A and B are shown apart, each in its own frame.
Chain A
Amino acid sequence: MTDPVFIVDYDAGNLKSVQRACAEVGMRAVVSSDPERLLDAGRVIFPGVGAAGSAMRSLSRAGLDAALKSAIRGGKPVLGICLGLQISMDHSEEQDTRTLGIVPGTVKRFRFDRPELKIPHMGWNEVRPVRAHPLLEGIEPGDEFYFVHGYYPVPRRNEDVCALTHYETRFASAVGWGSYFATQFHPEKSGRVGLRLLEKFSRWSGAPAS
C-alpha cells in the first residue's frame, strides 16, 4: 500500500468511482476538500464533472486553487481528470470562466455543422499518445477510453500535448506539464486500460520523462 492519494472534493460530481478505481489498483484514497491535507498528501487526483464556473467558485472558496498550484509547483504528482483538466487551463468558454492557469491554453466548446454529430462527445474513443510520458506507457493503437464532455482543451504549446483523440476535430485528450498530468477521458471508467493508467500514476515520481 502506498501513502493515501488525495482526491480533491469541490462539489464537482461523484468522486466515489475514482476512489473505487484507486482501491482496485492498490491506492488508498481520501476524498477531502481540506487544502492542508492536499499539501501533505503524497499525490493528488483532481477529478470533476460539471460546469467550469461553479467549479472554480467552489475551488477558490475552499482555498483549493492555491493549494493545487503550489502542489504542482513543488513537483507533487497530480492527475487531473475531465473537468479537472479543463479548469487547469487559462480560460474556458464555458460560462466565460477564468480558470487556474496551470497549463497555458484555453477550453473550447465542440461546434459542429453536421447535426448527426452528438454533443457531448460521449462514449469510447481512441487515445493516441504523441509524446512519451510515463503514464501513457503501454497504450497500444486501438486502445480506447471513455469520454463524456462538451468542451475540449486547446493547449497553447504543442509540447504540453501528450495524446490526441479525434472527434470530427483532433483535440488534446491528455496534457502534461511537469508533475501535472491530465486526461479528458475517465480512466476510472475505462476498463483495464484505464486502471493501468491509474496504477502507473500510483507509482509515478512526478518526473515527466521516463
Chain B
Amino acid sequence: MLSKRLIACLDVRDGKLAKSIRFVNTKDIGDPVEKAREYYADGLDELVFYDITASSDNRSIMLDVVEAVAREVFIPLSVGGGVRTVADATDLRLAGAEKINVNTAAVKRPALIAECAEAIGDQNVVLSMDIRRVDRSDRFPSGYEIVINGGRTPMGIDGLAWALEGERLGAGELVVNSIDADGTRDGYELRLTAMIADAVRIPVIASGGAGEPRHLREVLTEGGADAALVASMVHYGDYAVSELKNYLHDQGVKMRMSW
C-alpha cells in the first residue's frame, strides 16, 4: 500500500534558508544543505527547495545548493521558484532536482506546463498553486482564486478550474498552497485541499498552515491529500521529522517507517 508522504519545504534566498510568515518578513534561519542532510537522516520522504531569491544575478547560487544536496540526499528532490522556461527546468534537473515546480510563470503562460512535461516527463512537473478564499460567484464557482507574487496579485482565475487545467496540460502533481492558512499554524485549508484532491487524478500535496501534528493527520485523511508539506514546524526545531512520522503512524496513517 502506498504511503502518505511527509515533505519539508525549504525556502532559499541567496543560498540561505529563509522562512516567511504569510510571505512577508522573511528571515534567514540557516544552511539549506545542512538542514536537508538532517531531515534526510531523520526519515523525510521528499524535499522541496523554493528559490525566493529576488535578483536573477544570484540564481546560479541555487544550482550550487541543489547540486550539493543531491550529492548526499537520496530521496526525491523538487525545486521551484523562478522557473520560467524549459531551460530553467533542465538546468535544475542537471543540478540534481528530480521534479520541477512551476507556479507564477505557468499562470501567466500555461503552455509552460506542457512544454516542461514534454521535456522532462509529466511525473516530474509539479504545479504549485497559491490560492485564496473569495466569495463564490460566476467567475469563481469554487470560491477560490489563484494569486501570484506571494499572494499580492489576484489573477481572476478560479482555483479549481486552474487545478484541472494544470492536470490537463500535463502536470504530474499539484501543490495546493492556501494563502489564507500559510504561516498561521492554525492548520491546512481542509475544504480546499479535499475539493481539489477529489477532482483530479494526480497526487495532491497540501501546503500552508501546519502548526501541530494533528493538522497533518487531518489533511492526509479528511483533506484527501497524498502528501503534507511542512516548513516552520520542523525548521525551528519544534518537531522532528521522525516525531511527526511516528505520530501519524500511531494515528493510523500509512507512513514509511523504516529508513
Contacts and interface: CB of A to CB of B under 8 A. Distances in A.
Chain B residues touching A, range? 20 to 34
B139 interface: no
A60 interface: no
Given A24-B72, A49-B121, A191-B40, A124 B98 contact: no
Interface stretch (A12-20, A98-106, A175-183): A12-20
A50 interface: yes
B201 A119 contact: yes
A20 B96 contact: yes
Interface stretch (A39-47, A72-80, A136-144): A136-144
A82 to B, nearest CB: 10
B74 A195 contact: yes
Q: Interface of chain B, helix or strand or loop or mixed?
A: loop
User: Among A49, A142, A188, A191, which residue has the most Cβ atoms of chain B within 10 A?
Assistant: A191
A17 B121 contact: no
B229 to A, nearest CB: 14
Interface in B68-102: 70-72, 74-76, 93-94, 96, 98
Contacts of A20: 70-71, 74, 96
Contacts of B227: 123
A121 B256 CA distance: 15
Contact of B259 (A17, A50, A120, A192): A192
A192 to B, nearest CB: 6
A24 B74 contact: yes
Chain A residues touching B, range? 35 or more
B2 A124 contact: yes
A115 B201 contact: yes
Contacts of A124: 2-3, 5, 45, 256
Nearest to B95: A16
Interface string B95-135: 01010000000000000000000001101100000000000
A191 B75 contact: yes
User: Among B4, B94, B256, which residue has the most Cβ atoms of chain A within 10 A?
Assistant: B256
A116 interface: yes
Interface in B1-40: 1-5, 40
A116 B203 contact: no
B2 A49 contact: no
Contacts of B198: 116
Contact of A122 (B74, B203, B256): B203
Interface string A159-186: 0000000110000000000000000000
B202 interface: yes
Contact of B123 (A17, A122, A167, A193): A122
A70 B137 CA distance: 64
Interface of B: 1-5, 40, 45, 70-72, 74-76, 93-94, 96, 98, 120-121, 123-124, 172-173, 198, 201-203, 224, 226-227, 256-259
9 nearest interchain CB pairs?
Answer: A124-B256, A144-B256, A124-B3, A148-B123, A118-B203, A14-B93, A125-B2, A142-B258, A123-B2
28 contacts: A13-B120, A20-B96, A24-B71, A24-B72, A49-B123, A49-B124, A116-B198, A118-B202, A119-B201, A119-B202, A122-B173, A122-B226, A123-B5, A123-B45, A124-B5, A124-B256, A125-B1, A125-B2, A126-B1, A143-B258, A144-B3, A189-B74, A189-B75, A189-B76, A191-B75, A191-B259, A192-B74, A193-B258
